[in-house]
Amino acid sequence: MSEKITLNNRTTTDGKGFPEKAQLILGEKSMELPVVVGTENEPAVDISKLRAQTGYITLDDGYSNTGSCKSAITFIDGEKGVLRYRGVPIEELAEKSTFIETAMLLIFGGLPTQPHLAEFRRILTDNEFLHEDLRHHFEGFPPNAPPMAILSAMINAMGCFQQKWLLPEEDNHFMEAAGRLMSKVRTIAAASYKKSIGQPWIYPRYDLPYVANFLHMMFSQPYRPYEPDPAVVKALDQILILHADHEQNCSTSTVRMVGSSQANLYASVAAGVCALWGPLHGGANVAVIEMLEQIHASGEKVENVIAKVKDKDSKTRLMGFGHRVYKNFDPRAKILKAACDKVLNKLGIHDPLLDIAKQLEETALRDEYFVSRKLYPNVDFYSGIILRAIGIPANMFTVIFSIGRIPGWIANWREVHADPEARIYRPRQVYVGPTQRPYVPMEQRNR
């Protein structure tokens, strides 16, 4: 087993160069608030005693300035475009690692030894099937059911057949639960695709590794096996690595929020799927392709599109651009842009949408509106081009994002669940509704 990482032994650094305390003055009152500094020298003011000592809370719409936790899983420096999983740079993982090895790095805290990797692969292979009774759940969905709705529902339904693994406590129990969830989510995703195109489920193949097996279940047919091109497997494996975790994004925070009530792993991950579905988050990869297809079909000039985006009245966003944390390039977008050229060339595909995407990026990055707001391409801007080239339909893009993000969600759930000092997430609010007023009987209410 790789080195045991627990949150509690991750003390903060001594905060060289930062004050030990912050001074807060509120009218006649004042108090000192401790300063906490992370291992990457990020300072924070600890306000956990603020309300008790002053009666005040803080207000931070969208939590742009609020740390919800201390975490040892993923580090992002948004100003420098840095992303590291358990300290390992994303560029190195994308080039040298595999999705399963990266998943283990995130979940267990370190790169796996060969025996550890073999053990996890065995769990993935032994659990790639679904309980036959789950078929009935699929049969209940309409043919046009959104795959993200199916994925979230089936993760919870699957949990009913995996009750022993819902709340893994010991390490080996947790490893089995993590492997089972990762393996079966892939099978559910492929089955939801087959359902949407009216084709029968394809059983997994025990002799195929994780990504190749997923592609087999997606594209094989009972009478015609699909042999995945190694370049396609590598491209999808890299996409999953790039989506594997991203610190406290909306869906991961959701998993932590749900897990903080001591809800089980499957319920917490199913909630994460729902949060990821939104077009401002994981659903953006679908919105990007729809935007590019619309530009291509209409023949609209890129300059006109950019002008529309800049016109607030148009309420148009350049999907796949901007990020709450990255105020520099999203390193994942850089890797994906290069991968687009490589994969499409290898497959002999020329996709006009890629040309449009590159023109949009070039035009936007020369425009003061984007430059002044530090809006750069994010992970969703190019990922859909590669998924299209592989033959994956747009309504499955966010499902692919979910498969990639499962390890990050599992790691974050475990970080909350295994922390004896963890508390249930329960933010406060500033109430702005009606002040006290009496109940009015129906006959006295205005018609």
Stretch that binds ligand SDX, among 111-119, 230-238, 259-267, 313-321 (CB under 6 A): 313-321
- Is residue 342 a contact residue for ligand SDX (CB under 6 A)? no
Q: Which of 277, 321, 409, 413 binds ligand SDX (CB under 6 A)?
A: 321
**CB 303, min distance to ligand SDX, A:** 15
- Is residue 187 a contact residue for ligand SDX (CB under 6 A)? no
- Is residue 400 a contact residue for ligand SDX (CB under 6 A)? no
Stretch that binds ligand SDX, among 121-129, 340-348, 377-385, 392-400 (CB under 6 A): 377-385
Active site (annotated) includes residue 229: no
Active site (annotated) includes residue 323: yes
**CB 280, min distance to ligand SDX, A:** 4
**CB 415, min distance to ligand SDX, A:** 16
- Is residue 314 a contact residue for ligand SDX (CB under 6 A)? no
Q: Which of 73, 188, 318, 390 binds ligand SDX (CB under 6 A)?
A: 318
- Is residue 281 a contact residue for ligand SDX (CB under 6 A)? yes
Q: Which of 98, 152, 249, 264 binds ligand SDX (CB under 6 A)?
A: 249
- Is residue 308 a contact residue for ligand SDX (CB under 6 A)? no
Q: Which of 71, 380, 383, 388 binds ligand SDX (CB under 6 A)?
A: 380
Q: Which of 175, 255, 284, 289 binds ligand SDX (CB under 6 A)?
A: 284
Reduced 3-state DSSP string for the chain: CCCCCCHHHCCCCCCCCCCCEEEEEECCEEEEEEEEECCCCCEEECCCCHHHHHCCCCCCHHHCCCCCCCCCCEEEECCCCEEEECCEEHHHHHHHCCHHHHHHHHHHCCCCCHHHHHHHHHHHHHCCCCCCCHHHHHHCCCCCCCHHHHHHHHHHHHHHCCHHHCCCCCHHHHHHHHHHHHHHHHHHHHHHHHHHCCCCCCCCCCCCCHHHHHHHHHHCECCECCCCCHHHHHHHHHHHHHCCCCCCCHHHHHHHHHHCCCCCHHHHHHHHHHHHCCCCCCCHHHHHHHHHHHHHHHCCCHHHHHHHHHCHHHCCCCCCECCCCCCCCCHHHHHHHHHHHHHHHHCCCCCHHHHHHHHHHHHHCCCHHHHHCCCCECCHHHHHHHHHHHCCCHHHHHHHHHHHHHHHHHHHHHHHHCCCCCCCCCCCCCCCCCCCCCCCCHHHCCC
Which residue's beta carbon is nearest to the bound ligand SDX?
A: 322
**CB 301, min distance to ligand SDX, A:** 18
- Is residue 375 a contact residue for ligand SDX (CB under 6 A)? yes
Active-site hit among 137, 216, 243, 323: 323
The residue ranges that bind ligand SDX (CB under 6 A) are 62, 246, 249, 280-282, 284, 309, 317-325, 373, 375, 378-380
Residues carrying an active site annotation: 323, 380
